[in-house]
Amino acid sequence: MGYNRFVTQLLYLLNALNKSIAPRASSN
């Protein structure tokens, strides 16, 4: 029932993590 919502939240968190980690990795 809430599977689609869970996936949306998961993708959102992964996207936020990627945006917060990517600048450090590229600057290093």
* pLDDT at residue 2, as a whole number: 87
Q: How far is CA 1 from the centre of its chain?
A: 22
Q: Which domain holds residue 22?
A: 1-28
pLDDT tens by residue, 4-23: 999 999 999 999 998 887 77
Q: Is the pLDDT of residue 25 over 80?
A: no
Q: C-alpha angle with apex 18: 12 to 21, nearest 5 degrees? A: 140
* pLDDT at residue 26, as a whole number: 65
Q: How many structural domains comprise the chain? A: 1
- Concatenate the DSSP letters of all residues of 1-28 into one string: --HHHHHHHHHHHHHHHHHHHHHHHHH-
**Rg value, the chain, Cα:** 12
